[in-house]
Amino acid sequence: MARSDGNCSLSTVHEWESPDYEPLLPVSEKSNPLTRDIDRVSAGSIVRMLQACDAQIFQEEKGNTYKGLLSDQVVKTMMEVTRRVEIILKDPKDSLVVLSGCGTSGRLAFLVASGFNRELKELNQRSLYAYIIAGGDRALFSSQEAPEDDPKLGALSLKKVCEGKKRVLFIGISCGLSAPFVAGQLDFCLQNHEVYTPVLVGFNPTHQARDEPIPGCTFTFRSVVQRMQELAKSQTAFLINPAVGPEAISGSSRMKGGSATKLLLEIVLSAAHAAVFSHAPITSTGILQHMRAYENALDVTYAQSEAISALLEAAGQSLRCGRCVYYLGWGSLALLGLIDASECKPTFGADYKDVRGFISGGYRELNNNEGPLTSLGPEFCIAHEDFLHLVLPYLSDKDTVLLIYTHSDDVSEVVKLASRVREKTSNLHAVYHQADGDTAATVQQDDINRLCLSTLKITWLSPAPGSLLHMQWELSTKLLLNAVSTGAHVLKGKIYQNHMIDVQVTNSKLYYRASRLLQKLSGCPQHRCEEALLKAIYRVDELSTGITSSDTATHTRTARSRTKVVPLALVSLLTGCSLMEAESHLEQQSIVREAVAVIIDKA
Ligand code: F6P
């Protein structure tokens, strides 16, 4: 397929803000007008589109309908939450700050909690931050979508983490204001308000919070949000929920939602630390300045769009021929690699082997709640040594390997690993961050440049103070890796327009998203689309009453072991053919996007 150069006009930038634009969908689920053609443009244009989408995070004007990240209200609430953290930092006895979420939101809770605990340790303070991720630590590196639907599990895990605590600031993250797991935790906080103060972080206005009944509960996400809104008036609950615009790939909240989560939490916690340990006052100017520093990180990263496009091409090429992409990283940047890789499975229906991350030091470096998870299987072997044993012997030029580090890491180690990899493949690339004027590792870097097919150097001029600089590097790495893995899957044909057509239907949010997508692409009514979806999940041409009377949890459990559910449902809806025929059609045309495009054109 010939791919064109896309461009975006001002009208498409602001189109999503109109109340008439996809009015039934919350912002986090809307399709972004900027990326309508992302499935048919060149790698360079994909990167430009992602850049324009990410820039919406900081866009000031959001009409009257939405409040943005830089709005007075958001900044004010961030200051209030910062003060809460400050109080706990000054008197940490029997207190805890808990960050919690599902999927990438939980992974970022881990990243942020670990980073700030490390900072406390360096200041000889005891750790104060805890994280919870739906599905436990295995969800840090693998796709565990089902626990997201379990509010009781959410409340129980919160209760367990906080045993014996007298004061807890709970920060629940759900980009779509939608995860029942988080709703259960917030409800628990509201019922135990003498100990727990709830904060909700997400990226939809409150009236767009999910309102579907949650089985076994009297509340919905929206009703919990409404209760919090009441309490927010007396500052006993807090909502930080700016709109950051629709995701580049509809509903893929790991992208902008994840980036905005990371920066919001880091700004709040950094400001609280600065207030306590450096006596810096908590001001709106300080918060806004910090936001601008992250916006700058975005500009600095995308200034390298040509080099990013080349990486995306290489990764896309590997995936297209059935080979793999490997991220070999150091420190927290490696964790961002692990996080990016883990989302490819639910988002694109990928295999865990397609995109994999590895971290120098493995679990020792991570210090996660449950310790090493290697016994769970190869998917959980995440150290560089594991890469050397399990992957390196089979590596070829068709695989893409990406080294990710900074010049504050041990660069001689990077050289060693690069040499080992270079013996097996020339398709080796490096991405590294360097503060301007830092010449410490110049010699080793020259060696790495010689070993790699491409090296992407991101230099930070007039760098920010230590920890902020590091957080900028992390955000920059996240943007870059999101672009590489998303772009590579686009090039592999996993996206139709800007929708994930091969999404896994493994929890209720994904189930309803799949049903809506089928309605949009087939033009068929909801009941027919749900029928087709169920037929594809259960692999039957006739639905038994046993199937139709089962609940969504049963459907999504069954879908866990299935592949290509949504493409199959779509092909059978559009052609009226049996599942077997649809399956053979998809087998003939392995690129799902093209199979679907051909049928839609014919229909
Ligand atoms: O269900 C999968 C998923 O969409 C992940 O991709 C995402 O990171 C997670 O849910 C959390 O979503 P939210 O932050 O909106 O609760």
Which of 111, 133, 148 has the most ligand 1 atoms within 8 A of CB, as the residue to mutate? 148
pLDDT at 6: 58
Domain boundary (219, 249, 282) is at 282
**Mean pLDDT of the 37-47 span:** 95
Q: Does residue 7 have a pLDDT over 70?
A: no
Centre of ligand 1 to C-alpha 422, Å, is 36
542 shares a domain with 457: no
Q: Which atom of ligand 1 is nearest to the CA of 181?
A: 16
Q: Which atom of ligand 1 is nearest to the CA of 145?
A: 1
- The reply to whether 298 falls in a domain is no
- The reply to whether 48 falls in a domain is no
- The reply to whether 368 falls in a domain is yes
Q: Specify whether the CB–CB gap between 578 and 541 falls below 8 A.
A: yes
pLDDT at 266: 98
Place of tokens 């807890």: 168
> Structure tokens of 168?
């807890």
> Structure tokens of 565?
């559910």
328-364: burial string, b at 16+ Cβ within 10 Å, e else: bbbbbbbbbbbbbbbbbbbbbbbebebbbbbbbbbbe
Residue of minimum CA distance from atom 10 in ligand 1: 103
Centre of ligand 1 to C-alpha 285, Å, is 32
Other beta carbons within 10 Å of 165: 15
Q: Does residue 84 have a pLDDT over 60?
A: yes
Summarize pLDDT for 520-569 with one digit per residue, the tens.
999 999 999 999 999 999 999 999 999 999 999 999 999 999 988 999 99
356 shares a domain with 255: no
Which of 264, 509, 512 has the most ligand 1 atoms within 8 A of CB, as the residue to mutate? 509
pLDDT at 13: 67
Long-range pairs of 232-236 with CB within 8 A, sequence gap ≥ 24:
232/77, 235/80, 236/193, 236/197
- HSE, side-chain direction, 13 A CA sphere, residue 207: 6
510 shares a domain with 467: no
**Residue 404 contacts by C-beta under 8 Å, 6 or more apart in sequence?**
327, 328, 329, 330, 333, 334, 336, 337, 430, 431, 432, 477, 481
Residue of minimum CA distance from atom 9 in ligand 1: 103
Domain boundary (467, 492, 517) is at 492
- The reply to whether 526 falls in a domain is yes
Residue of minimum CA distance from atom 1 in ligand 1: 145
- The reply to whether 42 falls in a domain is no
484 shares a domain with 387: yes
Q: Which atom of ligand 1 is nearest to the CA of 177?
A: 15
Specify the 3-state DSSP secondary structure of 152.
helix
Q: Which atom of ligand 1 is nearest to the CA of 507?
A: 1
First to last CA, the chain: 20
Specify the 3-state DSSP secondary structure of 355.
strand
Among the ranges given (280-284, 342-346, 494-498, 583-587), the one the predictor scored with the smallest mean pLDDT? 583-587
CATH code (residue 418): 3.40.50.12620
- The reply to whether 56 falls in a domain is no
Residue of minimum CA distance from atom 16 in ligand 1: 174
pLDDT at 294: 96
pLDDT at 589: 75
Which of 141, 175, 485 has the most ligand 1 atoms within 8 A of CB, as the residue to mutate? 175
Instruction: Tell me the pTM.
Output: 0.95
178 shares a domain with 203: yes
Which of 29, 100, 102 has the most ligand 1 atoms within 8 A of CB, as the residue to mutate? 102
- The reply to whether 483 falls in a domain is yes
Q: Does residue 242 have a pLDDT over 90?
A: yes
Q: Specify whether the CB–CB gap between 505 and 537 falls below 8 A.
A: yes
- The reply to whether 444 falls in a domain is yes
468 shares a domain with 347: yes
Quote the percentage of the chain above a pLDDT of 70.
Answer: 96
505 shares a domain with 464: no
Domain boundary (492, 520, 536) is at 492
> Structure tokens of 585?
């059609």
Q: Does residue 443 have a pLDDT over 90?
A: no
**Mean pLDDT of the 418-422 span:** 98
CATH code (residue 531): 1.10.8.1080
In 3D space, the residue among 208, 206, 204 whose CA is nearest the CA of residue 244 turns out to be 204
Centre of ligand 1 to C-alpha 26, Å, is 14
592 shares a domain with 486: no
Q: For residue 170, name the pLDDT band (cuts at 50, 70, 90).
A: very high
Centre of ligand 1 to C-alpha 408, Å, is 32
CATH code (residue 100): 3.40.50.10490
Which has more confidence, 37 or 8?
37
Summarize pLDDT for 510-533 with one digit per residue, the tens.
999 999 999 999 999 999 999 999
Residues with CB under 6 A from ligand 1: 101-105, 145, 148, 173-176, 178-179, 253-254, 257, 343, 346, 507, 509-510
Residue 372 lies in domain: 303-492
243 shares a domain with 319: no
Summarize pLDDT for 321-353 with one digit per residue, the tens.
999 999 999 999 999 999 999 999 888 889 999
Q: Which atom of ligand 1 is nearest to the CA of 506?
A: 1
In 3D space, the residue among 492, 533, 498 whose CA is nearest the CA of residue 512 turns out to be 533
276 shares a domain with 333: no
Mean pLDDT value across the chain: 94
276 shares a domain with 312: no
Summarize pLDDT for 399-419 with one digit per residue, the tens.
999 999 998 899 999 999 999
Q: Does residue 253 have a pLDDT over 60?
A: yes
Which of 105, 149, 513 has the most ligand 1 atoms within 8 A of CB, as the residue to mutate? 105
352 shares a domain with 277: no
Centre of ligand 1 to C-alpha 510, Å, is 9
CA Rg value for the chain: 23
**Residue 239 contacts by C-beta under 8 Å, 6 or more apart in sequence?**
77, 199, 200, 206, 225, 228, 229, 232
DSSP string, 499-540: EETT----SHHHHHHHHHHHHHHH---HHHHHHHHHHHHHT-
> Which residues, in sequence order, are bridge partners of residue 441?
none
Centre of ligand 1 to C-alpha 150, Å, is 13
Please count the structural domains in the chain. 3
